[in-house]
Amino acid sequence: MDRFRKRFSGFSSLIVIAFVLIIILLIKDTGKAAAVRYLAAVFAVSFFMRPFFVQKHLKYPDEGFGLCFGLGLALCFFVCWTFCAITSFEFADAAVFGTFVIMAVSGMAVNRLTDKGPYITSEELRRFTGGFAVFAVIFLVFYYIIGFNPLVDPGTENYMDFGFMQTMYRQRSAIIYDIWFSNTKLNYYYLGQAAAVYLTRLAVTTPEYGYNLMLCTFVSSVFAMVFELVAGIANELLPDFKQKRLSLVWGGILGGSAAAFCANPHWILYGPVLSAAKKILGTDDGEHYWFPDGTVYINTQYNDPDNGKNEFPAYSVILGDLHAHVVNLIFVLPLIALLFEYALGKDEKETNRSRIYTLLVISVLLGMFKGSNYWDFAIYYVITGAVIVFTDVKKRGSSLNTMGKIAIKAFTVTIISIIAILPFTLNFSKMESGIQICTTHSPVMKMAVLWLPGVLTSLMLIFLLYFSRDSERFSANVARPALLAFVLCTLGLVITPEVVYVEDIYGGDNKRFNTMFKLTYQAYVLFAVIFGITVSVLLFRMFCGIASLYVMRICIGAAAIYCVLSVMYTPYAVYQRYGKVWKAGLRSGISSLEGLRSDGSYGFEMEAYNYLMGDESKVINIVEAAGNSYTHESALSVYTGACTPIGWYVHEWMWHNDSQPVQERADLVAYFYRSGNEEFCREFLKTYDIDYIFVGPAEVCKYPVNRNGFWNLGEICVETIWQDCELALIKVDRSRL
């Protein structure tokens, strides 16, 4: 009977995967083939990179499918990117597929040399396929949803993120030129988007489809990875009991849902609860919750002393954000799994082998974070240190010998992380100016609204593990001190922006904005992991009759209700962002650009886009209007991956930590269009090595364009008349300069 159940389970996973693929192919969409290839690429990365992901202590219900994918993508991409950065080899198809094949063969060789038996047993493959089936279902749901509003939006930073991907794809270089500050290297944390380009190339598609498909991959990965982390850690923490698997699965589902689909508690209070209260009291004023409200709850607009930011993954994916802190979460979660693997190592033989390897991979990941999201490096460097200290002291005591070994490990991790990212840091200048003490603080009640559930859950887990009557059941388990360090660091991420902040371009009322944003984003996800583990521990106590059945049912019921109410945020926000998604006829497709081609207001820009995309040069410099941030300006560079002398003003100011050179370029571009001075225009084109001059709707609206300065310096490629203005894309003729 058990054998039949396992076979049926494996067969049902294949049915689900086939169903997902069939639905994708049946949906009317120019990107359906790209979506299928993307799923295939995800599976291939996870399957062939399995040997690099240590699963010695943590056991996962799905063999760690999501975590294997996250670590596999990180390693494949980073090896490829580093090789290209050092050798100047093209960061293109040959390098992408070459490194993947080399890594896959190396993984099989490692598996064989370490005498681990078959690469994957039939039972492991069954569970692994099950993990992929769940991943594919979530991928399908968001593939369908995003198709209702897939366009890059100049009102958000996905405009910039898409531009980064398009630029990397066009330039085929590891170290790229700045899309909005031409002839200089991009001074930003762009390795997250570069990893998305790697996966896009592996799926044999382009950023036009790869951008939105990466969003689908992100949300699916977050659920899968947090589910696996919760189940794996709880499995190691809890003793064996009859309903253990049920406890692990439900804890994982609630934890994964909290991370991927839920909102922060602001939504529950000001969304369904407030709405219900207004209806009951008859005071409904017609105002409705707006899905970004919970992310800007701390705000001077509401008489707070300064502005804060509290985002979470569900908001990111619904907004269409593929920013540094978003993509890097796919790499952060495998690091946490490896950190617990390291902490759980017991004997000296293991210390000299797998734990050294694990620490090496953690070090490389930390180094990579410096190029994808530097905040994550700082956060997880501290968390890594805390977990190592707590677990090493637990195993070996607080002797000088133990402290010496910890110091050696800290030095090793630091040095490896520095060396690993040298190709990036040698071409990068830090933007931050230093650490400052906070002079303003978030209102206590608002902090309670945002963080009280997470704090209470964390304190409950600590109580259950250390102070409850049956806490001795966990005392011998080294997962306990690792979890304690993990929980304390998570609480620290919420407290830190109330004590210190990193000084950057954001000043005045926004001085804590970025610090709070990046630290609490990670805190939200880590609280979701803690939430899931706590649920598993509560289920263990309930099933084993350790505590009052009534009390345990109340606690578990409250957790389930909280999770359900919070998950309601996703369909609510989807409706506000994507509209009536139940009407399939309104869906436009997964392409980031296809909708622009049929929109008359973008007609001339897309004609220019088609021409520039036909130019096979890797680096193209164009001059277009100097862009104001969060506007449609600087659009042609975004769409094509061409570089322009100055794009979004404030963003470039932030990346260079200096407004003067940005203002100088903006003034020169304005004079280029306005002056009618041919000699100046000729010199400008030579100075910035301009290949094309663009005179589009944004240019004629922003400047009183005087064509006399540059119209005769090249050949017109595309032209039209728009509101009595002559628009054109002009290819510069070097012989006329």
pLDDT reported for residue 631: 84
Per-residue pLDDT, 8: 52
Q: Considering the domain boundaries, does residue 524 fall inside one? A: yes
Whether the per-residue pLDDT at 307 is higher than 80: the answer is: yes
CA 420 vs. chain centroid, Å, equals 21
Does position 47 have pLDDT exceeding 50, yes or no?
A: yes
| Residues contacting residue 478 through CB under 8 Å, at least 6 positions apart | 343, 344, 346, 391, 394, 395
Which of helix, strand or coil describes residue 720?
strand
Q: Based on the domain organization, do 513 and 454 belong to the same domain?
A: yes
Are 241 and 114 within one domain? Answer: yes
Domain boundary among 549, 578, 607: 578
Tell me the average pLDDT of the chain.
Answer: 91
Query: How many domains are there within the chain?
Result: 2
* Percent of the chain residues topping a pLDDT of 90: 72
Q: 343 and 462 share a domain? A: yes
What confidence tens digit (pLDDT) does each residue in 679-725 have? 999 999 999 999 999 999 889 989 989 999 999 999 999 998 888 88
589 part of a folded domain: no
100 and 246 belong to one structural domain: yes
Residue 330 lies in a domain: yes
508, 632: one domain:
no
506 part of a folded domain: yes
- 607 and 651 part of one domain: yes
Structure confidence at residue 1 (pLDDT): 39
Mean pLDDT to the nearest integer, 272-279: 85
Q: Domain ends where: 528, 545, 578?
A: 578
pLDDT at residue 640 tops 60:
yes
- Are both 606 and 533 inside the same structural domain? no
Candidate from 110-119, 389-398, 461-470, 638-647 with smallest mean pLDDT: 110-119
> Which region among 39-43, 111-115, 133-137, 404-408 has the lowest average model confidence (pLDDT)?
111-115
Find where tokens 């105002």 sit: 287
* Residue 125 in this model has a pLDDT that exceeds 50: yes
The per-residue pLDDT for 10 is 66
Q: Establish if 135 belongs to a structural domain.
A: yes
Which amino acid is present at 544? Answer: C
Structure confidence at residue 11 as a pLDDT band (50, 70, 90): confident
Q: How confident is the model at residue 665 (pLDDT cuts 50, 70, 90)?
A: very high
pLDDT confidence of residue 477: 77
Averaged pLDDT, 465-470: 84
* Residue 274 lies inside a defined structural domain of this protein: no
pLDDT at 115 over 70: no
Give the mean model confidence (pLDDT) for residues 332-354. Answer: 80
Whether residue 617 is found in the same domain as residue 559: no
Backbone angles phi, psi at 153, to 5 degrees: -110, 115
Q: Are residues 325 and 425 part of one domain? A: yes
Phi, psi of 545 (to 5 degrees): 65, 30
Same domain assignment for residues 241 and 339: yes
Residues 6+ positions from 517 with CB-CB distance below 8 Å: 308, 309, 310, 311, 325
pLDDT 10s digits, 419-448? 999 999 999 887 766 889 999 999 999 999
H and E: helices and strands count for the chain: 31, 6
Please give the C-alpha separations between residue 376 and each of 227, 261, 333, 491, 517, in angstroms, as whole numbers. Answer: 21, 22, 11, 16, 12
Q: Which domain holds residue 703?
A: 599-736
In a domain, 594, yes or no: no
Lowest mean per-residue pLDDT among 102-111, 330-339, 504-513: 504-513
Query: Residue 475 pLDDT more than 70?
Result: no
Residue pair 384/373 in contact by the 8 Å Cβ criterion: no
pLDDT value at position 4? 43
Chosen domain end from 519, 543, 578: 578
User: 358-381: buried (b, 16+ CB within 10 Å) or exposed (e) per residue?
Assistant: bbebbbbbbbbbbbbbbbbbbbbb
Q: Is the pLDDT of residue 397 over 80?
A: yes
Question: Is 80 exceeded by the pLDDT of residue 6?
Answer: no
Of 195-199, 285-289, 534-538, 539-543, the poorest mean pLDDT is in: 285-289
Looking at the domain assignment, is residue 685 inside a domain?
Answer: yes
Instruction: Give CA 288 to chain center in angstroms.
Output: 29
Same domain, residue pair 413 and 548: yes
Q: According to the model, what pLDDT value does residue 361 have? A: 95
Once rounded to an integer, what is the mean pLDDT over residues 564-588?
95
Strand ranges of the sheet holding 714-722, from the earlier edge strand across to the other edge? 622-623, 692-695, 725-732, 714-722
Confidence of residue 9 (pLDDT cuts 50, 70, 90): low
In a shared domain, residues 314 and 248: yes
Burial annotation 118-152 (CB, 10 A radius, 16+ → b, else e): eebeeeebbbbbbbbbbbbebbbbbbbbbbbbbbb
